[in-house]
């Protein structure tokens, strides 16, 4: 993997969410570790611990009072995932749903040594929603967060690798981590570890690359493909795993193939009766397809590719939640002097098209008069703005613009 450009390196220099996860300058992390090598960061070298994100008391609340359903909880023991029937039940009168988490069943399984995996916390738990949104923006790649709660002296999963990068954030107790070199570097999403199970088992029997105990506030970064396993020590251990679904050059190749699908020659049928199992019979068609594909992807522009991969990133991480009732009230009651700001975590891009400017946001394209561009750019900085002070528009037009952006979920009350 080539080193990032100077522009790319400086872009991550002051990212506060990333700085919570790595104890080195983000520029150094981007150039020397991102996608390349593990990095262990001690609590003493990080800005603060992670108890603001999740505690064991929070775990109890999630498991007992939040009405969780599968698949937001998995339970594993000795490397195997248990059937959800072992920890779910109906919700009682008025909530007759059969797959709600049953706190008493979970307690028994945990007492018997099972590991609890709270999944999708970036959609469930407010502090983690905010943190994950900020980290995704810092990295430029979508992220998700799960929590692993392991009983004392227990292990939930055997050695394996993930098909996404991870940040491990230790929140409670101690856990011994064993990390080994990859057997299949940089795996894609469709190349999980069980496709290389024998090689994984063999590599896990060798001396580890990392053998360290993580304590509260410690963090570990692992690029995809690195083998890892963890065992809780003498008390209950909990850590957050931030899974980063990295965009790859393969994703760009997939986008190019989609673009190539517009070429009529590539869409043409092969001859009737062709024997596709015969390499000699297929050879001329393979050569023709390769030549046509080369021509088709060679004519694709970066803008064509960006338009296709953008949504994978933009839709991969939701922006900060908005309060629907308050949002509607803010739009309906908007007055000069009201304060608004960009919805945190909302990806966007502004382009011009003749006498219009176009605001692209996930799942939507807003066409606006070109005269709104200065005011729009001011609103999109992320700073709180006051209606009536936006550049280039009179008060009436400012109200129209801001009201529409509130209704579209681009702005929130500030």
Q: For residue 352, is it within any domain?
A: yes
The gap from C-alpha 316 to its chain's centroid, in whole angstroms, comes to 6
- State whether 256 and 393 are in the same domain: no
Question: Which stretches does DSSP call E strand in 84-174?
Answer: 88-89, 100-101, 115-118, 143-150, 165-172
Question: What CATH number does the domain containing 400 carry?
Answer: 3.90.930.40
Contact 110, 73 (CB under 8 A): no
Domain of residue 279 covers: 249-302
The answer to the question of residue 186 being in a domain is: yes
- Do 27 and 120 reside in the same domain of the chain? yes
275 and 224 within one domain: no
Task: Tell me: do 50 and 108 sit in the same domain.
Answer: yes
What digits encode the pLDDT tens for the residues 330-363? 999 999 999 999 999 899 999 998 899 999 999 8
Kindly report the pTM of this predicted structure: 0.89
Q: Look over the chain and give the mean of its residue pLDDT values, rounded to a whole number.
A: 93
Q: Is 274 found in the same domain as 188?
A: no
Contacts of 222 (CB under 8 A, 6+ apart): 38, 162, 165, 166, 168, 179, 228
Taking phi over 0 as left and psi of -120 to 50 as alpha, with beta for the rest, 79 belongs to left
61 within a domain of the structure (yes/no): no
> Quick one: how many helices (H) and strands (E) in the chain?
14, 19
- Judge if 292 and 407 occupy the same domain: no
Q: Would you say residue 13 has pLDDT above 80? A: no
Tell me, yes or no, whether 348 and 297 share the same domain.
no
Last residue of a domain, one of 220, 244, 268: 244
Name the residue with tokens 């590539």: 266
Do 115 and 146 meet the contact criterion of CB atoms below 8 Å apart? no
Does some domain include residue 401?
yes
Chain-centre distance for alpha carbon 413: 26
Give pLDDT, residue 371.
96
Summarised one tens digit per residue, pLDDT across range 101-160 is: 999 999 999 999 999 999 999 999 999 999 999 999 899 999 999 999 999 988 778 899
Are 329 and 265 within one domain? no
Cα–Cα distance between 92 and 85 in angstroms, integer? 16
Number of domains in the chain: 3
Task: List, in sequence order, every residue forming a beta bridge with 239; answer none if it has no partner.
Answer: 148, 170
What would the mean pLDDT of 194-215 be, rounded to a whole number? 96
pLDDT band at 394 (very low <50, low <70, confident <90, very high): very high
Residue 150 · residue 175 · CB < 8 Å: yes
| Closest-CA residue to 73 (of 65, 84, 85, 58) | 84
Match 């599968």 to its residue by tokens.
70
Both 292 and 359 in one domain: the answer is no
Extract the tokens encoding 181: 């070199």
Question: Does residue 49 share a domain with residue 134?
Answer: yes
Q: Is 273 found in the same domain as 227?
A: no
């Amino acid at each position: 993997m080539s080193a990032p450009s100077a522009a790319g390196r400086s872009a991550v220099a002051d990212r506060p969410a990333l700085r919570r996860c790595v104890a080195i300058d983000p520029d150094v992390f981007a150039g020397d570790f991102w996608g390349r090598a593990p990095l262990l960061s001690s609590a003493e070298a990080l800005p603060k611990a992670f108890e603001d994100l999740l505690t064991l008391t929070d775990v109890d609340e999630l498991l007992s009072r939040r009405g969780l359903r599968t698949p937001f909880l998995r339970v594993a023991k000795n490397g195997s995932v248990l059937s959800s029937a072992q920890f779910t039940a109906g919700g009682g009168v008025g909530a007759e749903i059969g797959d709600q988490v049953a706190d008493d069943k979970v307690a028994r399984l945990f007492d018997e040594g099972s590991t609890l995996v709270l999944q999708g916390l970036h959609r469930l738990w407010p502090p983690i929603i905010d943190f994950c949104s900020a980290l995704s923006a810092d990295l430029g790649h979508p992220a998700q967060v799960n929590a692993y709660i392991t009983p004392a002296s227990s292990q939930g999963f055997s050695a394996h690798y993930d098909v996404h990068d991870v940040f491990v954030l230790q929140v409670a107790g101690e856990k011994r981590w064993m990390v080994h070199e990859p057997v299949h570097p940089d795996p894609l999403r469709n190349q999980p570890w069980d496709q290389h199970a024998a090689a994984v088992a063999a590599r896990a029997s060798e001396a580890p690359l990392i053998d360290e105990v993580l304590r509260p506030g410690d963090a570990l970064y692992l690029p995809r493909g690195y083998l890892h396993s963890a065992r809780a020590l003498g008390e209950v251990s909990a850590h957050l795993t931030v899974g980063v679904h990295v965009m790859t050059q393969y994703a760009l190749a997939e986008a190019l193939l989609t673009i190539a699908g517009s070429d009529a020659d590539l869409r043409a049928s092969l001859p009737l009766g062709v024997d596709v199992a015969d390499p000699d019979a297929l050879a001329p068609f393979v050569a023709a397809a390769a030549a046509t594909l080369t021509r088709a992807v060679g004519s694709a522009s970066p803008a064509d590719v960006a338009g296709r991969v953008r949504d994978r990133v933009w839709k991969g991480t939701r922006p900060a939640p908005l309060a629907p009732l308050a949002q509607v009230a803010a739009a309906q009651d908007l007055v000069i002097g009201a304060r608004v700001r960009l919805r945190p975590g909302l990806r966007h891009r502004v382009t011009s098209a003749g006498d219009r400017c176009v605001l692209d946001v996930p799942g939507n394209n807003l066409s606006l008069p070109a005269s709104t561009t200065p005011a729009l750019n001011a609103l999109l900085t992320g700073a709180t703005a006051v209606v009536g002070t936006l550049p280039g528009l009179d008060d009436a037009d400012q109200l129209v613009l801001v009201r529409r952006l509130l209704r579209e979920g681009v702005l929130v009350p500030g």
